[in-house]
Amino acid sequence: MAETIVVAGAGTTGFQVAKHLVADHKDVVVIEKNPEIAKYAVNHLDCLVINDSGNNLKALREAGIEKADFFISVTDSDEFNIVACGLVSSEFRVPCKIARVRNPDYAQSNLSDRSFLDVDYFVNPEVEAANAIVKSVEQGATSDVMQLENTNLQMRNLLVTDDSYFANKTIADIKQGLPHEFLVAGITRDEDFFVPTGRLSVAIGDEVFLVATEESLDQVFEDAGRPRVQLKKIIIVGGGRVGSYVANELTSRNGGRRGARRLLSYLGVRQKHLKIIDTSYENCKALAERFPDATVINSDISEEGFFEEETMMGYDLIITTTDNPELNILVAVYAKTFGIKRSIAVVNKYNYLAMASRLGADVIISPKNSVVNTILKFIRRGRVKSVRSVLGGMAEVIESTLDGSRGFVGKQIRDLRMPESSLVVSVTRSGEHIVPRGDFLLNDGDKLTVLARTESIARVEEMFNS
C-alpha cells in the first residue's frame, strides 16, 4: 500500500515536493488556502487538492490525516508550519511531521533535538542555501556541486561554449581525448534532460553533467578551460539571512563547523578580504558590529555607476544573495565583466535556474530546491536510501544497496533493464567508489547511485525494492 502524505502549502516548495511524491506513486493530498494557488495545483498535480487552511481540523480529516504517514507543512509562515505540526501531533497519530522554517534562530536553537511541539524535522531554506554556497566556494565555485553521499565522487555541471573542448565532439571522442576517469551522466538541451549515448555529439549551449572524483573533475574542468582559482577576496551582495549566514561561515575562526575551518584553510581568507553590500542602513550597522573586520557598504548595487565608483577590481568572487532573483542573476553576470573571476547567484524561481546558468553565472543556488531535496531525502525509505532532486526537478539521484536475493547480482550494468533516461553513475564496493563502465559486473552488497528523469524514478525504485 502506498504511503499517504499530506502537504500543507502549494507554493513553489510544496508544489515541487508533491510533484515528486506523486511521480513516486505516493498517495498525496495537498491543502492550500489561497484559491488561485490551489487552482494551479489542481490543474498541474495528479492528486487531491483541498482549498482550505492546513491547520483546519475539518480539512485535515478530509485529507485523510488519520491514516497519513507524513505531514509536511511548507507554507510561507514559520509559526504556521510549527503550530500546524503541533496540532496534527496533538489530534492525530501521524508518525512523522516536517516543518519548513526560515528564521535561523529556530535552526540554531536545536528545536528538533527537543521534539518541540513534537515536530520530527525542521528544514530551513536559508541555512540549506548558505551551506550549499559555502560548499561551492570550498570547491572553487567552478560549477554547482553535488556530493554523492558517502563517496568521494561528485557531480558537476559544465556549460558548453563555442570555445569549449566539449563543443561539437561526441561523448566517445571526449572521453578518449581526456586522460581522466569520468562519466558524462546527463545533458540538458533546450530545457530538456536526457542521458546521452557515446555517439551523441555535444552542442554549443548544452549543459553537461559530469561524475568523477574531485581531483578528476578539477582536471577535466581545467582541460575544458575552467580551472580552479584561489578565492581570497569575496564580495557578498545582500546582508539578509543567507548573506549573513555565509559571512559568518567565511569569517568563523574559532569554533564553528569543521568544514568552515577547512574552507578558510583552503581559501587563505582573512576577514579584511570580505566585503558586504546591503541597501539597508540599519542592517549595515548590525553587520558591521557582527563582522568588525569585514568591509560593510550601505549602497544599492543596481544604481548606475556603482561598479565604477566602488573598487571591485581585484576581487575573486561575488555572491549575490538578495531577495530579488533577477538582480542576483544580473549582478553575478555583470560583475564578471569587471574582472571578478567567479560568481554565485541565489535564485528562488525554478524557471530562472537554467537561464541563469546560460547567462554566465558560475553557480546557481536555489533555497527552495535545497529544501525539496532535504525533505525527499528524509521521507524516502526501504532499500532506496536517498533521493535528491536535480536540474530544477527534471531529474533525481537515488541510491540503493544490492542484495543477493534480487536479479542484479552477477550482471553487467549494460544488461540491466533500466528505464529510459536513467544511468548508474557510481558503485561503492568495500569502501571503494567506482565510476562504472557498461561492462562493470555487479556484486552482492554493491551500493548503486542512479541518475534518472523524474518520471522514471518510480520504475527505478520498483526495480530496487522488488
State the pairing for strand pair 153-159/145-147: antiparallel
Do both 255 and 219 map to the same domain? no
The residue out of 188, 223, 258 marking a domain boundary is 223
- Cβ(275)–Cβ(235) below 8 Å: yes
* Owning domain of residue 82: 4-123
Of 266 and 184, the one with more pLDDT? 184
Q: What is the pTM of this model?
A: 0.77
Cα–Cα distance for residue pair 124/247, rounded to 1 Å = 17
| Confidence bin at 203 (pLDDT 50/70/90) | very high
Residue 347 lies in a domain: yes
* Per-residue pLDDT at 105: 65
Cβ-Cβ contacts under 8 Å for 176 (sequence gap 6 or more):
none
Higher pLDDT, 455 or 129: 129
Phi-psi category of residue 115: left, alpha or beta, with phi > 0 → left and psi -120 to 50 → alpha:
left
Tell me, yes or no, whether 237 and 364 share the same domain: yes
**Is the domain of 119 the same as that of 153?**
no
Query: Does 171 lie in the same domain as 94?
Result: no
Q: Which pLDDT does position 179 carry in this prediction? A: 84
Q: Let me know whether 115 and 154 are in one domain.
A: no
For residue 248, CA distances in Å to 8, 29, 291 come to: 32, 39, 8
Q: What's the rounded Cα separation, in Å, for the pair 126 and 321?
A: 10
pLDDT tens for residues 120-170? 888 888 888 888 898 888 878 887 777 777 778 888 888 888 888 899 999
Question: What is the DSSP pairing of strand 192-194 with strand 183-189?
Answer: antiparallel
272 plus 360 within the same structural domain: yes
Which grid coordinates belong to 154?
Answer: 561528485
In this structure, are residues 356 and 347 in contact, taking their beta carbons and an 8 Å threshold?
A: yes
**Given this model, what pLDDT does residue 258 score?**
44
Last residue within a domain, chosen from 205, 223, 241: 223
Q: What CATH number does the domain containing 414 carry?
A: 3.30.70.1450
DSSP state of 412: B
Element (H, E) at 30: strand 27-32
Residue 411 φ/ψ region, left for φ over 0, alpha for ψ in the -120 to 50 degree band, beta for the rest: beta
Q: Which of 123, 147, 168 is the last residue of a domain?
A: 123
Is residue 243 in some structural domain? yes
pLDDT at 63 over 50: yes
CA dihedral (152, 155, 156, 161) positive or negative: positive
Give all strands of the β-sheet with 274-278 in edge-to-edge order.
295-298, 274-278, 234-237, 317-320, 342-346, 363-365
The CATH number of the domain where 113 resides is what? 3.40.50.720
At 192 the pLDDT is 81
| Lowest pLDDT segment from 52-56, 237-241, 347-351, 361-365 | 347-351
**What's the structural domain count of the chain?**
4
Q: Is the pLDDT of residue 272 over 50?
A: no
Whether residues 359 and 267 share a domain: the answer is: yes
**Tens of pLDDT along 315-364?**
899 999 999 999 999 999 988 888 888 999 999 887 777 777 778 888 88
Are 156 and 248 found together in one domain? no
Cell 568523477, located at residue: 212
In a domain, 91, yes or no: yes
For residues 201 and 223, give the distance between their C-alpha atoms in angstroms, rounded to a whole number.
18
Q: Express each pLDDT in 80-110 by its tens digit.
A: 999 999 999 999 989 999 999 987 666 555 5
- Among 51-60, 226-235, 328-337, 420-429, which range has the highest average pLDDT? 51-60
